[in-house]
């Protein structure tokens, strides 16, 4: 009548032990630390450890411990203030070969770590840091890609020795090729189709997917069009490339465990735990400075600027420091996204410089160009996109101003390919440009539409308040149920504790992020578990009032309440899944905790509490009453 299979007792015991083990790491605090990662073949050795120790002593910082971990050097500190101070000191002392990053070091015992047990990841609202939401300018990405198609079309027709009057951007992201009289438009189209095919993609890699292009021959004019599917793909690729670039830039900034993810169709969310300097973070994340190498077109630049009569293959630029105009070729020899490494350095005269290494394709192009142009001149164009915010009719209007200036042209004294040095920059420009080139260029410019900072003290306060909310909700429930339902109230309280243990363990096992709304979801799971036990207890009371024997009343109470509990929790589960699928940020944290809590509450209310009731009352041969 009131029986419970032994294998279920074993199952409950196994779940209890596993949950206890994997929830245990959450009671161990994390040490504020600085994680030092080597780059470009630098070594993590005793010499580095000694230098770090010396730097910290000079800064008046006493570390708790300096240790090697997973190929990095980890400096454990006592407070977040000491962590920030140590990070600044080490960044200045170690140079470009090492990257210090703010981190939180685990203090979980080794035996737990060997079992794969680890604490839940804390969200930004619990750990502190900065949050940015960036809007991606997808139109600029399309413009950039269409311009790449146009440039490759010019090169393809030039190589095919087909004369054209012009290759221009047309309406609706088209490219209009005007073939010269006496030249075959059909031959020009065939040459374009052959060269613009994916197998023969340009060095820039911009023409992947070019088989989707359409070619409309209208007399001596060819209109190259991009179908909607190609435009959609370009926009999607721009978002993904920007996310990859942002990850590299954040690594240059020195942040451990950042969160960078897409939000909607044209936004990216960046969360940097532990970072409090928003100005430095924004400079590194939002910067779009890059450089291009172009050949100088000989001619009178002043006359071209005065009359507006610029050679068709040239573009007019202003030299830095108001040194006048210069004519540069429209064809880009190499650009920032083709550079595999860049290091800030000084030239032979002690002036700031950047040592640049190009990829193999761009290096070959540079070799081909310099081989036949020794003695001619080449210039570097420094390009920066500067976000601007203006108030128009009491509304905030965001725009981007593009600043392009040419550095003083230099003479090509010899043949070079993928490794060379560029000068003419200030020290700060050289340092920042080297970092940006190493991180990669953005496929599309972005603007900051939202930002906020959560201080470490506020994060700690949020943790404290969240824990208090869950503990108090549990204690109040414990007291009320023990008074109101007596023995079954105590059973409910034990099942409730088991429920919390399972939720924390599952979130820790799967690396779920705990946020402040997550604590709300945890408190809600307490309520859901209580609700299930109320249904069971009231059903048992009802059976007893009908005169059903005590043992049978307990068994009937669990059997008849189970269906109602499943129905009620299924409804909550549907809501939780919908919140997780369609929500963002805080809603996801709340929904995830709620979903795990629903599964845990069904297990503890139906299975665990029944096992405890059977253990207490099942072995009694004569049971006249039940304390409920």
pLDDT 10s digits, 439-458: 666 777 788 888 887 776 67
| pLDDT given for residue 328 in this prediction | 94
Strands in 72-76's sheet, in edge-to-edge order, are 65-69, 72-76, 31-38, 98-105
Q: What Rg value do the Cα atoms of the chain yield, rounded?
A: 33
- Residue at token pair 């900072």: 453
Q: Quick: pLDDT tens for 479-528.
A: 888 899 889 989 988 998 999 899 999 989 988 778 888 888 888 877 77
Res. 207: pLDDT tops 70 = no
- pLDDT for the residue 296: 93
Task: Please state, in angstroms and as integers, the Cα–Cα distance from residue 11 to each residue in 8, 18, 504, 555, 597, following that order.
Answer: 5, 11, 19, 20, 19
Residue 205 pLDDT class (50, 70, 90 cuts) = very low
Its pTM surpasses 0.75: no
3-state secondary structure 77-91: CCCHHHHHHHHHHHH
Q: How far apart are CA 326 and CA 137, in angstroms?
A: 30
pLDDT at 511: 80
Q: What is the dihedral of CA 283, 284, 286, 288, to 10 degrees?
A: 100
Quick one: pLDDT at residue 252?
Answer: 64
Domain 6-25+457-617 fold: Multidrug efflux transporter AcrB transmembrane fold (1.20.1640)
For residues 298-315, one letter each, b for 16 or more C-beta atoms within 10 angstroms of the residue's C-beta and e for the rest, the string is eeebeebbeeeebeeebb
Digit-coded pLDDT (tens) for 324-347: 999 999 888 888 777 777 788 888
Is 437 a residue whose pLDDT tops 80? no
pLDDT at position 210: 44
- What is the 8-class DSSP label of residue 172? T
Considering only the top CATH level, what class is 288-440? alpha beta
Answer yes or no: are the C-beta atoms of 593 and 580 closer than 8 Å: no
Helical ranges in 546-585 per DSSP H: 550-582
* Minimum mean pLDDT range among 77-81, 208-212, 353-357, 604-608: 208-212
- Residue 621 CB burial class (10 angstroms; 0-12, 13-18, ≥19): exposed
DSSP for 444-455, written as a single string: S-EEEEEEEEE-
Within the chain, which residue ranges are assigned CATH 3.30.1360.200?
288-440
pLDDT tens sequence across 101-111: 777 788 999 89
How far apart are alpha carbons 592 and 518 in whole angstroms?
8
Q: Coil, strand or helix: which one is 102?
A: strand
Mean pLDDT score, 105-126: 86
Query: Which of 3.30.2000, 3.30.1240, 3.10.20, 1.10.1740 would CATH assign to domain 138-232?
Result: 3.30.1240
pLDDT at 104: 78
Higher-confidence residue: 532 or 211? 532
pLDDT at 565 exceeding the cut of 80: yes
- pLDDT, one tens digit per residue, over 346-372 is 888 888 888 888 887 788 888 989 999
CATH 1.20.1640.10 range(s) for the chain read 6-25+457-617
State the pLDDT at residue 41: 56
Q: Is 454 left (phi over 0), alpha (psi -120 to 50) or beta?
A: beta
Task: Give 488's strand partners.
Answer: none
Give span(s): CATH 3.30.1240, the chain. 138-232
Task: Specify the CATH class of 31-105 in words.
Answer: alpha beta
Give CATH 3.30.70.1510 domain extents, the chain. 31-105
Residues paired with residue 318 on neighbouring β-strands, in sequence order: 325
The DSSP bridge partners found for residue 327 are 316
Q: Sign of dihedral through CA atoms 226, 227, 229, 232?
A: positive
Asked if residue 1 has pLDDT above 70, the reply is no
pLDDT band, very low/low/confident/very high, at 204 (cuts 50, 70, 90)? very low
Task: Determine contact, residues 318/292, Cβ cutoff 8 Å.
Answer: no
Residue 288 is given by DSSP the state: -
Amino acid 456: pLDDT: 64
pLDDT of residue 112: 92
| pLDDT higher than 60, residue 316 | yes
What pLDDT does 198 receive? 41
| Number of other CB atoms surrounding residue 405 within 10 Å | 17
For residue 298, pLDDT beyond 80? yes
For 469, the token pair is 């909310």
Max mean pLDDT among 59-68, 274-283, 313-322 falls in 59-68
- Per the model's pLDDT, the better-predicted residue between 488 and 408 turns out to be 488
Over range 213-217, report the average pLDDT.
Answer: 87
pLDDT at position 208: 40
Is there a contact between 34 and 103 (Cβ–Cβ < 8 Å)? yes
The answer on pLDDT for 170 being more than 70 is yes
pLDDT of residue 206: 39
Q: What is the pLDDT of residue 388?
A: 62
% the chain with pLDDT above 90: 18
């Amino acid at each position: 009548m009131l029986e419970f299979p032994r294998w279920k007792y074993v199952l409950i015991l196994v779940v209890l032990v596993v949950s206890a083990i994997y929830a245990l790491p959450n009671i161990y605090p994390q040490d504020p630390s600085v994680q030092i990662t080597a780059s470009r073949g630098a070594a993590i050795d005793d010499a580095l450890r000694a230098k770090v120790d010396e730097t910290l002593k000079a800064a008046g910082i006493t570390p708790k411990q300096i240790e090697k971990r997973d190929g990095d050097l980890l400096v454990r500190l006592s407070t977040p203030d000491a962590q920030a101070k140590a990070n600044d000191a080490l960044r200045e002392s170690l140079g470009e070969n090492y990257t210090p990053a703010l981190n939180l070091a685990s203090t979980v015992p080794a035996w737990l770590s060997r079992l794969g047990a680890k604490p839940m990841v804390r969200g930004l609202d619990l750990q502190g840091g900065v949050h940015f939401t960036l809007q991606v300018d997808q139109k600029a990405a399309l413009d950039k890609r269409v311009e790449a198609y146009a440039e490759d079309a010019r090169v393809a027709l030039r190589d095919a020795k087909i004369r054209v009057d012009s290759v221009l951007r047309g309406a609706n992201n088209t490219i209009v090729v005007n073939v010269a009289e006496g030249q075959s438009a059909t031959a020009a189209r065939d040459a374009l189709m052959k060269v613009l095919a994916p197998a023969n993609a340009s060095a820039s890699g911009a023409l992947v997917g070019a088989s989707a292009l359409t070619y409309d021959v209208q007399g001596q004019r060819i209109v190259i069009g991009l179908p909607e599917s190609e435009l959609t793909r370009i926009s999607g690729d721009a978002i993904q490339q920007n996310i990859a670039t942002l990850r590299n830039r954040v690594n240059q900034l020195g942040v451990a465990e950042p969160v960078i993810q897409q939000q909607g169709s044209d936004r990216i969310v960046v969360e940097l735990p532990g970072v409090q300097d928003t100005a430095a973070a924004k400079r590194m994340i939002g910067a779009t400075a890059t450089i291009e190498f172009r050949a100088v077109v000989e001619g009178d630049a002043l006359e071209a600027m005065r009359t507006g009569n610029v050679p068709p293959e040239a573009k007019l630029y202003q030299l830095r420091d108001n040194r006048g105009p210069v004519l540069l070729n429209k064809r880009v020899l190499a650009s920032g996204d083709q550079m595999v490494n860049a290091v800030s350095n000084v030239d032979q005269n002690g002036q700031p410089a950047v040592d640049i290494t190009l990829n193999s394709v761009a290096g070959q192009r540079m070799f081909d160009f310099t081989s036949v142009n020794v003695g001619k001149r080449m210039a570097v164009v420094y390009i920066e996109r500067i976000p601007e915010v203006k108030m128009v009719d009491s509304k905030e209007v965001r725009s981007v101003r593009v600043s392009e200036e040419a550095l003083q042209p230099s003479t090509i004294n010899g043949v070079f390919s993928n490794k060379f040095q560029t000068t003419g920059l200030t020290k700060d420009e050289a340092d920042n440009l080297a970092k940006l080139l190493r991180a990669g260029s953005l496929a599309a410019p972005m603007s900051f539409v939202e930002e906020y900072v959560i201080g470490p003290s506020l994060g700690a306060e949020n943790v404290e308040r969240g824990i208090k909310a869950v503990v108090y909700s549990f204690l109040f429930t414990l007291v009320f149920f023990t008074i109101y339902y007596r023995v079954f109230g105590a059973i409910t309280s034990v099942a409730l504790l088991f429920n919390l243990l399972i939720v924390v363990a599952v979130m820790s096992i799967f690396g779920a992020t705990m946020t402040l709304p997550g604590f709300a979801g945890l408190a809600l799971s307490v309520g859901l578990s209580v609700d299930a036990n109320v249904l069971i207890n009231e059903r048992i009371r009802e059976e007893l009032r009908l005169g059903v024997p005590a043992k049978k009343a307990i068994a009937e109470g669990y059997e008849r309440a189970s269906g109602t509990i499943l129905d009620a929790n299924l409804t909550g589960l549907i809501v939780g899944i919908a919140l997780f699928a369609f929500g963002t940020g805080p809603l996801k944290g709340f929904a995830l905790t709620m979903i795990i809590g629903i599964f845990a509450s069904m297990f503890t209310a139906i299975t665990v509490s029944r096992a405890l009731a059977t253990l207490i009352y099942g072995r009694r041969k004569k049971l006249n009453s039940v304390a409920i």
